[in-house]
Every structure is written in structure tokens, then in C-alpha cells.
Amino acid sequence: MFDIIADKLHQAEKIVFVTGAGISQESGIPTFRGKDGLWRKYDAMKLATIEAFYENPKLVWEWYEERRSNIMVAKPNAGHLAIAELEKFKSVHVLTQNIDGLHQRAGSTQVYELHGSIITVKCTECDFKDAVRASFPDLPPICKCGKMLRPDVVWFGEPLPQNVWHAAMQQASSCNVMVVVGTSLVVSPANLLPVYAKQNGATLVEVNPEETLMSADMDLSIRSSAAKALPNLLAIFQR
């Protein structure tokens, strides 16, 4: 299996990775769904919509501040590092649903953050956007314009950043191999990316210990964790 995928990577002109929460699980960042997933403890609709935010901004901010402090001490794992290393040999683009910045910290340079970033904040009213440098003394933090700041992430019912989404669709539609890592593929429109790749005749590979909604559409599947599978794949690719 690893040999076949390594061959496909060798032959490919463009490789695209689509990643989700599962790739950061071995960095100590919980996934959303599944047995230890965040949505088991919290109600998504109470935390990840603009309505929930306006209803209880302090609660939503506390949740994001807790997650941000966890993410800031987390380190990229062997899965993130293997993807970054592959860039030394091939054209590699990473389309990630994650907001944790770990692909960039691992060294990947072509990263498209489909659902935004926990490292930046934006104003609910004006165009202000900035990196978070320290924890906020009061929650919710307030913009210079007087309105509330919010995490720069994409909540349910919100459009993805259009420039990022268009670029991601273009990469998906023009790749030869797409490796889908650590995502349940239940959230749209990110779950369309493998469909675009397939339409272009790309080989679809899944790296996930569990089956997903689109497992049947994959050409090859590795039922293993990202931090185990991806370094193995890289080692075989480099042989």
C-alpha cells in the first residue's frame, strides 16, 4: 500500500493535502467529533455560530481562549513535519480546515486556512484584523471602534474567506494526488475538495484510523494515525 502511494507521489506534478482536526490530534489538540471530540463536551451550535456569539460572547471567548492557550503550547507532530518535508521534493499545497497554524509552524509554505485562524482576531463591525499577542484582560475584547472583537474563524452558516476558497478549489481541481488526512468530511464546502480532485482524475488517498463518509470514493486508504502513517510514507518515498 505505502509503495503504491509513494509511486503515485513520485509521478505526481502537484500534490494536495486536505487536512482536518485528526492531523493535530497527536499534538494534543482534540478533534470535534468522535469519542474524545470537543462536540461531545460542548454544543457546537452554542459555540460555533454568530448567533451563539452574540447571545453569550464571554462564554464563546472563554472557549476560544482555552483552546488558543492549548494550541500555543502544542507542537507540530511527525505528520505535519512529513508534509512540510515533502515540499523539498514536490509541489505541495495544504488545504486545511484547522485553525491551529501547526502546518505553518512545521514549515509548510503553501497553506490555505479554509476556516480561518485562532491566532488572529477581527472586528464584528469594522475592517480591523490583528494577531493576538497576549491574553485579553477582559472578555470579550473591544475594538477601537467600540464594537466587539471576535476570533477570526469561520462559524456555521458563514462563508469561507472567498480568496482562500477559490484558491483551494483551483488547487484541488488541478492536482494529481490528493491526500485527505484526519477529517470526517462532514462539513461543507471543504468536503467538496476531494470531489473536485476526483473530477480532475486525481488519485485520492485517505489517512484516517476510521472510515469516513467518503472512504468508498478513495482509491487508497491507510487506516492509521497521521503521525504514524505520513512519516512512513515519506520514508518509502525517499528510498
Contacts to Zn ion by CB under 5 A? 123, 125-126, 128, 143, 145
Q: Which is nearer to Zn ion, 120 or 174 (CB)?
A: 120
Distance CA 120, CA 134 (A): 11
Q: What is the CA radius of gyration of the chain?
A: 18
Stretch that binds ligand BJW, among 137-145, 150-158, 170-178, 196-204 (CB under 6 A): 150-158
Q: Which of residues 90-119 bind ligand BJW (CB under 6 A)?
A: 97, 99, 115
Which 3 state secondary structure label does DSSP give 83? helix
Identity of residue 22: G
Active site residues: 115
151: left (phi over 0), alpha (psi -120 to 50) or beta: beta
Q: Is 183 in the site for ligand BJW (CB under 6 A)?
A: yes
Q: Is 221 in the site for ligand BJW (CB under 6 A)?
A: no
Q: Which is nearer to ligand BJW, 137 or 159 (CB)?
A: 159
Q: What is the DSSP letter of 116?
A: E
In the list Zn ion, ligand BJW, none, the entry touching 77 (Cβ below 5 to 8 angstroms by class) is none
Half-sphere exposure of 179 (CA within 13 A, CB side): 29
Q: Is 161 in the site for ligand BJW (CB under 6 A)?
A: no
Stretch that binds ligand BJW, among 19-27, 103-111, 171-179, 194-202 (CB under 6 A): 19-27
Q: Which is nearer to Zn ion, 3 or 125 (CB)?
A: 125
Q: Is 31 in the site for ligand BJW (CB under 6 A)?
A: yes
Q: Which residues pair with 207 in a beta bridge?
A: 181, 222
- Whether the CB-CB separation of 229 and 207 falls below 8 Å is answered with yes
In 20-161 the beta strands, taken as DSSP E runs, fall at 91-96, 111-113, 116-123, 129-131, 149-153
Q: Which of residues 35-94 bind ligand BJW (CB under 6 A)?
A: 37, 48
Q: Least distance to ligand BJW from the beta carbon of 45, Å?
A: 9
Distance CA 198, CA 175 (A): 9
What residue ranges bind ligand BJW (CB under 6 A)?
Answer: 20-23, 25-26, 31-34, 37, 48, 97, 99, 115, 153-159, 182-184, 186-189, 207-210, 212, 225-226
